[in-house]
């Protein structure tokens, strides 16, 4: 691997919980996030500002964020879909906002109710307003490797979207495999082509393990020079608006791979595994991640205190 340090962006409190059938109490979500911070996570997606009828798991976004600790070394990210979402985010203490634009019109309409051109227009306005209000503004191209409704997505399509989206000056550009169809060769090709048009802009990748290729894709992204990788403790979550899009890559399993490969993250694998076990108790069932079952190697190799 060519990179020596990667920042993990923990998406369990948002992308993880929003797709699980259980709705955790706000107090449990606060404890979840505090555990993640204690483990060394410094960027977290904590909530999405969407209509509670569409995503009831996120109905307590403002109440949750109000109870989070004020930390200069931690950045809280809120996901938004439109200007109403930004209005809500600006009333909280989130540090960043993230917006998603889908790779196809069909999926974009199902996810956000408008076509891609409208989402790009709205993103431009949101980015400007967010930055004027002191927030970091990020955008992600979702379903970048395949669409559940339109099938294959050409690399040229993703490059075109990247060119249009960076006109609004995001702090970073995300590339997401929202339905878990990518393979490492695709990841390398897409990131290489996108890098040609975005220059030195930091890239962030978000993979799902739906077809058991998530960790291999994450390694390909690291080798391609990404700065940030998304992951979800225990591997919980997915996308509620894409059929069978289960399986964020587990923070536990990703961290093991990175640690054993000499990639620095500043995150304690032992504490992440402890958090997965705690999450299993909260959800009342096992989580998909393998490290909570298999344990670290060598045993006791990373202290949890």
For 62-110, the pLDDT digits (tens) are 999 999 999 999 999 999 999 999 999 999 999 999 999 999 999 999 9
pLDDT tops 70 at residue 3: no
| Rounded Cα gap, residues 109 and 135, in angstroms | 27
Threshold 0.85, pTM exceeds: yes
Question: Which domain, by its residues, includes 150?
Answer: 7-294
| In a domain? residue 196 | yes
pLDDT tops 90 at residue 244: no
**Number of folded domains that form the chain:** 1
| In a domain? residue 300 | no
DSSP string, 206-236: EEB-TTS-HHHHHHHHHHTT-SEEEEBGGG-
Instruction: Indicate the helix (H) or strand (E) that contains 110.
Output: helix 105-112
Selecting among 50, 179, 187, 239, the annotated active-site residue is 239
pLDDT tops 60 at residue 2: no
How high is the pLDDT of residue 4?
76
More confident residue, 178 or 144: 144
Q: Which band of pLDDT confidence, cut at 50, 70 and 90, is reported for residue 246?
A: low
pLDDT tops 70 at residue 240: no
| In a domain? residue 185 | yes
How high is the pLDDT of residue 305?
38
Per the annotation, the verdict on 239 as an active-site residue is: yes
| In a domain? residue 229 | yes
Please report the beta strands in 103-221, taking only residues with DSSP state E, as ranges in sequence order.
Answer: 136-142, 173-177, 203-207
How high is the pLDDT of residue 303?
47
| In a domain? residue 172 | yes
Burial of 227 (0-12, 13-18, 19+ CB in 10 A): middle
How high is the pLDDT of residue 20?
85
How high is the pLDDT of residue 74?
98
For 120-143, the pLDDT digits (tens) are 999 999 999 999 999 999 999 999
How high is the pLDDT of residue 247?
80
For 195-229, the pLDDT digits (tens) are 999 999 999 999 999 999 999 999 999 999 999 99
Please report the beta strands in the chain, taking only residues with DSSP state E, as ranges in sequence order.
Answer: 7-10, 43-49, 75-80, 96-102, 136-142, 173-177, 203-207, 228-231
| In a domain? residue 301 | no
How high is the pLDDT of residue 304?
43
For 258-300, the pLDDT digits (tens) are 999 999 999 999 999 999 999 999 999 999 999 999 999 988 7
Question: What is the average pLDDT value for the chain, to the nearest integer?
Answer: 93
Q: Which band of pLDDT confidence, cut at 50, 70 and 90, is reported for residue 185?
A: very high
| In a domain? residue 74 | yes
Name 33's Cβ contacts closer than 8 Å, sequence gap at least 6: 13, 44, 46, 68
pLDDT tops 90 at residue 238: no
Q: What are phi and psi of 112, to 5 degrees?
A: -125, -5
| Site of tokens 């998909």 | 288
| In a domain? residue 2 | no
Q: What are phi and psi of 71, to 5 degrees?
A: -130, 125
Residue 67 near residue 30, CB atoms below 8 Å:
yes
Handedness of CA 96, 254, 242, 14 (dihedral sign): negative
CATH code: domain of residue 154: 3.20.20.70
């Amino acid at each position: 691997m060519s990179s020596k340090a990667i920042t993990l962006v923990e998406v369990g409190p948002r992308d993880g919980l929003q797709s699980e059938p259980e709705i955790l109490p706000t107090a449990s979500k606060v404890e979840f996030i505090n555990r993640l911070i204690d483990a060394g996570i410094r960027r977290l997606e904590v909530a999405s500002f969407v209509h509670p009828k569409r995503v009831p798991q996120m109905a307590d976004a403002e109440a949750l964020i109000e109870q989070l600790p004020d930390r200069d070394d931690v950045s809280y990210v809120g996901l938004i879909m439109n200007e109403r979402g930004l209005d809500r985010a600006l009333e909280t203490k989130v540090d960043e906002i993230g917006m998603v634009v889908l790779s196809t019109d069909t999926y974009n309409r199902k996810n956000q109710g408008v076509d891609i051109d409208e989402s790009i227009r709205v993103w431009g306005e949101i980015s400007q307003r967010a930055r004027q209000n002191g927030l970091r503004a990020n955008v992600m191209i979702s379903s970048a490797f395949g669409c559940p409704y339109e099938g294959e997505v050409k690399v040229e399509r993703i490059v075109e979207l990247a060119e249009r989206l960076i006109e609004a000056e995001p702090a970073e550009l995300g590339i997401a495999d929202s339905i878990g169809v990518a393979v490492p060769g695709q990841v390398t090709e897409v990131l290489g082509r996108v890098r040609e048009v975005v220059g030195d802009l930091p890239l962030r990748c978000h993979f799902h393990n739906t077809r058991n290729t998530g960790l291999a894709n994450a390694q390909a992204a690291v080798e391609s020079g990404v700065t940030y990788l998304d992951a979800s403790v225990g591997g919980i979550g997915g996308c509620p608006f894409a059929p069978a899009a289960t399986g964020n890559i587990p923070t536990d399993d990703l961290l093991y791979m990175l640690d054993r490969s000499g990639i620095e993250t500043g995150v304690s694998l032992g504490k992440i595994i402890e958090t997965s076990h705690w999450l299993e108790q909260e959800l009342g069932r096992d989580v998909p991640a393998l490290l909570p079952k298999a344990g670290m190697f060598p045993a006791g190799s990373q202290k949890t205190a």
